[in-house]
Amino acid sequence: MEADLNSPSCQECGFEFGVVAQPVIAAPSVPQAEAVNPPLQNQTIIIDNSGKKTGQPANEEIVYYTDNYGVRVTNTRFIAGTATYPMAGITSIRTIKLRKSRSGPVWLIVLGCIFLIAYGAGLLLLIPGIIWICLIKDNYAVRISTAAAESNAIISKNPDYIEHISRAINEAVIKRGW
């Protein structure tokens, strides 16, 4: 095989650098699975923030968070139980504190103080009121805003759990916009 001076080629194998490689089609006597060179496939390479190739195809879902409670955050969607939110539709994410009502134990404490002062016997109302108010725990929520509405996607008593999910959603939204 003679080398063409206009297109550079490898001296050992004769590969021409300026020519796009075509897929090799196996001869009928060779089974397709044993073909030396499989057909070329279109593959998109993603480059991360540091400029390195990740090798991740663009159409594959990247999971940022998943747990055993049906919560899953990927680059394309956020799943919370039976609700699915597309990342493209999420406009904002917030972590909020949902304060539980403390009016019941406060009334017990107030009545306990009144009965304690008036009759000397209000401890039966005062002590349960104090215990009740100490046991009340606030809920925390991941609040998702879309163009259509705003909703509490996940509610939990554990603020760290909610914060972790919120950070994963924020990361997925930021990376999607990149």
**Model pLDDT for residues 107-141, shown as the tens digit of each residue:** 999 999 998 888 888 888 889 999 999 999 999 99
pLDDT at 102: 93
- Shared domain for 64 and 84, answered yes or no, is yes
The enclosing domain of 52 has a CATH number of 2.30.29
- Shared domain for 28 and 5, answered yes or no, is yes
Return mean pLDDT, the chain: 75
Which has more confidence, 71 or 50?
71
pLDDT at 11: 59
Sheet with 83-86: strands ordered across: 63-66, 71-74, 77-80, 83-86
Which neighbouring-strand residues pair with 63? 74
Helical axes 123-135 vs 103-118, angle rounded to 10°? 160
pTM over 0.85: no
pLDDT at 154: 92
DSSP conformational letter for 164: H
Which residue, 103, 102, 90, is CA-closest to 148? 90
DSSP conformational letter for 25: P
Query: What band does 9 get if pLDDT is binned at 50, 70 and 90?
Result: low
- Shared domain for 87 and 163, answered yes or no, is yes
- Shared domain for 61 and 95, answered yes or no, is yes
Q: How many CB atoms lie within 10 A of CB 60?
A: 11
pLDDT at 3: 45
- Shared domain for 90 and 159, answered yes or no, is yes
Percent with pLDDT over 90 in the chain: 40
CB contact at 8 A, 78 and 66: no
- Shared domain for 92 and 173, answered yes or no, is yes
- Shared domain for 142 and 170, answered yes or no, is yes
- Shared domain for 2 and 69, answered yes or no, is no
Total structural domains in the chain?
A: 3
- Shared domain for 113 and 75, answered yes or no, is no
- Domain of residue 124: give its range: 103-135
